[in-house]
Amino acid sequence: MTDSKHLYLVDGSGYIFRAYHALPPMTRKDGTPVNAVYGFSNMLLKLLKDVNEGEAPTHFAVIFDAARKSFRNDIYDAYKAHRPPAPDDLVPQFALIREATNAFNVPAIEMEGYEADDIIATFATRARAEGWKVTIVSSDKDLMQLVSNDVSLFDSMKNRRIGAKEVHDKFGVIPEKVIDVQALCGDSVDNVPGVPGIGPKTAAQLIADYGDLETLLARAGEIKQPKRRENLLAHAYDARMSKKLVTLHCDVPLEDWTLDKLAVCSMEPEKLLAFADDNGFKALRARVVSHLGDGIPGTSLQEAETTEIKATNYSIVDQMADLERWIARIRDTGIVAVDTETTSLDPMRAELVGISLSVKAGEACYIPLRHRKSDGLDFGTDTLRQLPVKDALSALKPILEDPAILKVGQNIKYDMAIFANEGIRVHPIDDTMLISYVRDCGLHGHGMDELSELHLGITPTPFKDVAGTGKKQITFDLVPIEKAAHYAAEDADITGRLYRLLKPRLAEAGLLSVYERLERPLVPVLVDMERAGIKVDRAELSRLSAEFAEGMARLETEIHELAGESFNIASPAQLGHILFDKMDLKGGKKGKTGAWSTSADVLDKLAAEGHTLPEKVLSWRQLSKLKSTYSDALGKAINEKTGRVHTSFSMAITSTGRLSSTDPNLQNIPIRTPEGRRIRRAFVADTGNLLIAADYSQIELRILAHIADIDALKDAFAKGMDIHALTASQVFGVPMENMDPATRRRAKAINFGIIYGISAFGLARQLDIGRDEAKAYIDAYFERFPGIRTYMERTKEQAHETGHVTTLFGRRSHVSDINAKNPNLRAFAERAAINAPIQGTAADIIKRAMIRMPQALLDAGLPDIRMLLQVHDELIFEAPKDQVEAAIPVIRRVMEQATAPVLDLAVPLLVDVGTGENWDDAH
C-alpha cells in the first residue's frame, strides 16, 4: 500500500486581495507599504498551522497571477477589462509577498500569460492522474469546476470545505457542468458576456434540462420563451466564447515544476525570522517563535495582531449583569458598532426586536428584546429568555446618548429612527455606508453585504436565511433567538470591521470634510424630516382615484371601439401591434429589442397628425399613471398611527451626491399638468398650519456660470435678467425685449442641454428638429460662450485622467465607463462627467442649507417649524400660521447663504418662497 499523497494549492492572489483590504495601511521603516505582506504572512502561517492539525499536506504550493494580461485577453479583449488597476500602495508588495512565501519554504509559482487558476487546474489534474487528493485553498467560484471526488476547495476564512455537494448547491449542476452554466450567465465582474437575459438560475435550469451547452445551442429553437430563444440563437457565439473564457487550462506548460518539487519542506525558523525582522513584523516573529519554538500551536498569541483572522465569538445577552459588562467595555473603548433588528424596513412601522453591539473584530453580542414564539403563546412558563425591554433600554440609553461614545452603524439613519421611537436620541455617530459613499461614489453600491464582500472577503448571512422568503417569510421577532443572535451579531461585527478599515482611508483621500460637514450632520436632520412626514388628504385621494377610474373606463371603451377590438391598453406590445401592424400607422420606430415604441413622443406625433386613438391612449395613460402611482399608492402609504406619509431619503444611491426618495417617492409628485397638480393639492398643512415651499431659482445654471467662469452669464444673474431670454438673444440674434415665447423655449432647451453635456442628437430630439439645425444652435451657443466649451473639455480631461470629477465642495463622483473602448459608453460617461459637478454642487449646497436650518429656526425663536421634504432644489416646511411670516426670511437667508463661508459664489443664489394650505398653492 502506497502512502496517500495530498496536494494543497493556495490561490495566492485571493490571499493578497483579502490581506490588503482587511488591514489598514502599514509601512516598513523605509516607507515601503507592507500591510498586504503582513496580512498574507499571517494568513499563510495560520493555514500551515491549521492544516497540520488536520489533514496534513504532503505537497504544498502557493500560486500567483503573473500579470494582468493572459491568453484570455486574446480571445476577448474586454475580459476583466473593468477591473481597476491594483492600488499604488499594493504594487510594490507583490514581490515581497513572493519573498514571504519562500521564507516559509513554500514554492511560489506563476506563469506569464496564464492566470493562477489555470496553474492550479494544471497541478490538480496532474495530481489526480497520480491518484492523489487535492485541496485548493480558495473560495473563488471559478475554481469550482475542478471539484471532484478527489479535489475539493477549502475556504480558509470561513473554515468551510466545498465539495461536489456545495458546488451543486451554488450552481445547481454537477461541477463538470459549471462552465456551461457560467458560459450562459456570464460574469459581470470579469466581463464575461454570457447570453443576455440569462442569469444563474435560468442557466442552471437550461443545462439541467439539455445536458450541456452545445446540445442546448443546437436545440435552442425549441425554447418556448421567445425572448430567451432569440437571445440564445443570437448570442451562441458569445456563449461559446464565454465558455472558453471560463474554462480553466489544465495543460499550462510547467515543465520545470514537477509534482515532487512541491513536496512539503519543514519551515526553517532562522529564514522566517529573518524575513519577519527585515519587514519589522514583531508580532509575526512572536507567533513564529511560539509556533515553532515548542512545537505546540500556541494559544497565547498576541491577540490584537490576529483579530482579523480569528474565529468569531458572538454571545447572547439575556442577563442584566452581562449587559452591564458590555456597557463597561463600551465605556472603556469609547466606540461601539450598533445594529438594530426590527419587524419592518419602514422605521415608522417597525418595532424594535433586538440590538447587537460590537467593540472589536470578531466579538459581538445580541440583546434580544421582543422575540416571540410563532404560535403567539409567549406567556406563562414558555417565555423566551430575554431582558425586559424597559430595563435594557434604560441601561443602554446613557451610552447611546453619551457625547464621549461614538456609535458606528451601517445606514445608521435607520437605527436612529428606531431608537427615536423608544425616546433615545443617538449621538454622536459615524456611518460606514456614508463613508463608503463619500469615497467610492459611482464605483459600486454601499450596502453592507456588498461592502463586506468587497473589503473583508466575508459574505454575511443573508437575511432570507434567517427569516425565509416570499410567502413563508417571517418577521424578525419570530426568528429563534439563537439564529437571530448570530445574524445580528455578525452585522454589528462587520460594521465595526468596515469602520476600522474605511474610516482612516477617508483622510488619505482628502474626503474627510465632505463626510464630516456634508453627509454625517445631515443624518439627524433627515431622521427628523422622515419622522415628521407630511399630511395627505386621504378622502381627496379616493375622490381622485374614483374620478380617474371613471375617465379611464370611458376612454377604454372609445379606444377599443376605434381599434375594432378589445386589448390591454397598458401593454406596449399589444398597443404597438394595434397601431403599427393592424392600423398600419406611419412613424413607428423599433427599439433595440425590436419592439414598437409607443412612448409619449411617438403618440404625440401621431395625435398631431389627427389620429384619435393615440390621442386617447395618451389621455388614458396619464390617468392610469396618476391613479396607480399616486392617488392609489399614496393612500396606502398613509401611516395609521400618524395619519401622515413618511418617505425614506436614501443618502448613498445617486452618483452625483443627490438624495433619492422611496417608499413612497415624494420627489416626483406631479406638477406639470392640471390633472397632475390635483395630486399635489392633496398634500396639505396640518390644521392651523401652512406649507412653505422654498426653491432655488436656476441653481444649476448659476453654478455653471461660476464654474465655467462666464462673464456674460454671471453679469446676467447679477442683474436678475431672464437667463433663457438672454441665451435666446445671443444664440438667435434677437433682441431681449418682446422675446417670442417659442424662441425662448428653444433657448431654455439649449440651457438644459448644456448642463446635461449637450449633443446634437439629444437637442434635436428634445426640440423635435433636425440634427443639422440642432448642431447649428449648439455651434452658435459655443461661439457666444466659448468658456463653456473650455469647461466641458477640462472636465472630460480630468475624468479621463483620474476616473472621477469633483464638485466645488470636494465631493467626488467616479465615472465608471469614462475610458471604455465602446465609444457609445464612453460618450455617455463623458456627458455624465460634465453634469456631475454641476448637479453635485447644487446637491452640496442644499445639503448645507438643510444642516443649518434647524438651528437657524431655533435661533430665530421658531421651534415649531418643521422641515418636511427636500426635492433637489426645493425645501418644504410646515409652520403654524402665525409664524409663517417670521420663518420666510430665515429660510431664505439660510438657503441663499448656504455656500458661505467656504465658497464665495460669483453669482447670487436666489430663492423663491411661497405658502399655501396645500403643496400646489405653496408654489
Interstrand relation of 429-431 and 406-409 (parallel, antiparallel or unpaired): parallel
Q: Which stretch binds DNA (CB under 7 A): 59-67, 275-283, 294-302, 627-635?
A: 627-635
**Residues 775, 788: contact at Cβ < 8 Å?**
no
| Total chain residues near DNA (CB under 7 A) | 78
The span from the CA of 842 to the CA of 822, in Å, is 31
Closer of 199 and 889 to DNA (Cβ)? 199
Q: What part of residues 766-785 is at the interface with DNA (CB under 7 A)?
A: 766
Q: Tell me the closest approach of the beta carbon of residue 592 to DNA, in angstroms.
A: 6
Closer of 382 and 640 to DNA (Cβ)? 640
Q: Which stretch binds DNA (CB under 7 A): 244-252, 316-324, 353-361, 821-829?
A: 821-829
Cell 442557466 -> residue = 203
Q: Tell me the closest approach of the beta carbon of residue 675 to DNA, in angstroms.
A: 9
Q: What part of residues 502-541 is at the interface with DNA (CB under 7 A)?
A: none
Closer of 156 and 661 to DNA (Cβ)? 661
Interstrand relation of 313-316 and 363-368 (parallel, antiparallel or unpaired): parallel
Binding mask 195-234 for DNA (x = CB under 7 A): -xx-x-------------------------xxxx------
Residue spans of alpha helices (H) in 66-129: 71-75, 93-103, 116-129
Q: Tell me the closest approach of the beta carbon of residue 526 to DNA, in angstroms.
A: 14
User: From the list 571, 612, 802, 855, which residue makes contact with DNA (rule: CB under 7 A)?
Assistant: 571
The span from the CA of 767 to the CA of 752, in Å, is 12
Torsion, CA 274, CA 279, CA 280, CA 282, rounded to 10: -60
Q: Read off φ and ψ for residue 918, nearest 5 degrees.
A: -135, 170
Q: Tell me the closest approach of the beta carbon of residue 387 to DNA, in angstroms.
A: 36
State in Å, rounded, how far the first CA of the chain is from the last one: 90
User: From the list 291, 360, 621, 812, which residue makes contact with DNA (rule: CB under 7 A)?
Assistant: 621
The span from the CA of 814 to the CA of 874, in Å, is 26
Closer of 320 and 671 to DNA (Cβ)? 671
749 binds DNA per the rule CB under 7 A: yes
Total Cβ atoms within 10 A of residue 193: 19
Q: Which stretch binds DNA (CB under 7 A): 41-49, 352-360, 448-456, 620-628?
A: 620-628
Q: Which stretch binds DNA (CB under 7 A): 241-249, 569-577, 856-864, 885-893?
A: 569-577
Q: Tell me the closest approach of the beta carbon of residue 754 to DNA, in angstroms.
A: 7
Closer of 266 and 824 to DNA (Cβ)? 824
Using alpha carbons, select from 346, 374, 866 the residue that is nearest to residue 641. 346
Using alpha carbons, select from 185, 190, 243, 187 the residue that is nearest to residue 80. 190
916 binds DNA per the rule CB under 7 A: no
Angle (deg, nearest 10), helices 35-53 and 12-22? 120
The span from the CA of 856 to the CA of 920, in Å, is 26
Question: What is the residue type of 104?
Answer: F
**Residues 598, 575: contact at Cβ < 8 Å?**
yes
Supply angle C-alpha 139, 141, 146, rounded to 5: 95
Q: What part of residues 666-695 is at the interface with DNA (CB under 7 A)?
A: 667-673, 676
User: From the list 6, 658, 744, 804, which residue makes contact with DNA (rule: CB under 7 A)?
Assistant: 658
Closer of 407 and 658 to DNA (Cβ)? 658
Q: Tell me the closest approach of the beta carbon of residue 913 to DNA, in angstroms.
A: 15
The span from the CA of 518 to the CA of 846, in Å, is 10
Q: Which stretch binds DNA (CB under 7 A): 11-19, 54-62, 97-105, 834-842?
A: 834-842
Closer of 421 and 574 to DNA (Cβ)? 574
Cell 426590527 -> residue = 342
Interstrand relation of 160-162 and 874-880 (parallel, antiparallel or unpaired): unpaired
**Residues 692, 877: contact at Cβ < 8 Å?**
yes
Question: What is the residue type of 847?
Answer: K
User: From the list 568, 612, 642, 802, which residue makes contact with DNA (rule: CB under 7 A)?
Assistant: 568
Q: Read off φ and ψ for residue 399, nearest 5 degrees.
A: -70, -45
DSSP element (H, E) containing 400: helix 389-401
Q: What part of residues 116-175 is at the interface with DNA (CB under 7 A)?
A: none
843 binds DNA per the rule CB under 7 A: no
Q: What part of residues 424-463 is at the interface with DNA (CB under 7 A)?
A: none
Joined together, the cell numbers standing for residue 179 give 462552465
The span from the CA of 169 to the CA of 153, in Å, is 14
CB-based contacts of 54, cutoff 8 Å, min separation 6: none
**Is the N-terminal amide bond of 901 cis, ω within 30° of 0?**
yes
User: From the list 483, 761, 779, 902, which residue makes contact with DNA (rule: CB under 7 A)?
Assistant: 761
356 binds DNA per the rule CB under 7 A: no
Using alpha carbons, select from 642, 690, 726, 674 the residue that is nearest to residue 922. 690
User: From the list 149, 300, 593, 687, which residue makes contact with DNA (rule: CB under 7 A)?
Assistant: 593
DSSP element (H, E) containing 109: strand 108-109
Q: What part of residues 44-103 is at the interface with DNA (CB under 7 A)?
A: none
Question: What is the residue type of 275?
Answer: F
Q: Read off φ and ψ for residue 737, nearest 5 degrees.
A: -70, 145
Closer of 553 and 573 to DNA (Cβ)? 573
642 binds DNA per the rule CB under 7 A: no
Joined together, the cell numbers standing for residue 337 give 458598532
The 3-state DSSP class for residue 810 equals coil
Closer of 79 and 580 to DNA (Cβ)? 580
Q: What part of residues 245-284 is at the interface with DNA (CB under 7 A)?
A: none
Q: What part of residues 855-914 is at the interface with DNA (CB under 7 A)?
A: 871-874
Closer of 143 and 758 to DNA (Cβ)? 758
653 binds DNA per the rule CB under 7 A: yes
Secondary structure tally for the chain: helices H, strands E: 38, 23
578 binds DNA per the rule CB under 7 A: no
759 binds DNA per the rule CB under 7 A: yes
Q: Which stretch binds DNA (CB under 7 A): 62-70, 83-91, 151-159, 833-841?
A: 833-841
661 binds DNA per the rule CB under 7 A: yes
Q: What part of residues 106-125 is at the interface with DNA (CB under 7 A)?
A: none
Closer of 188 and 313 to DNA (Cβ)? 188
Using alpha carbons, select from 408, 501, 432 the residue that is nearest to residue 25. 501
User: From the list 664, 803, 837, 854, which residue makes contact with DNA (rule: CB under 7 A)?
Assistant: 664
655 binds DNA per the rule CB under 7 A: yes
User: From the list 81, 263, 273, 827, which residue makes contact with DNA (rule: CB under 7 A)?
Assistant: 827
Binding mask 594-613 for DNA (x = CB under 7 A): -x-xxxx--x----------
Q: Which stretch binds DNA (CB under 7 A): 118-126, 203-211, 486-494, 763-771?
A: 763-771
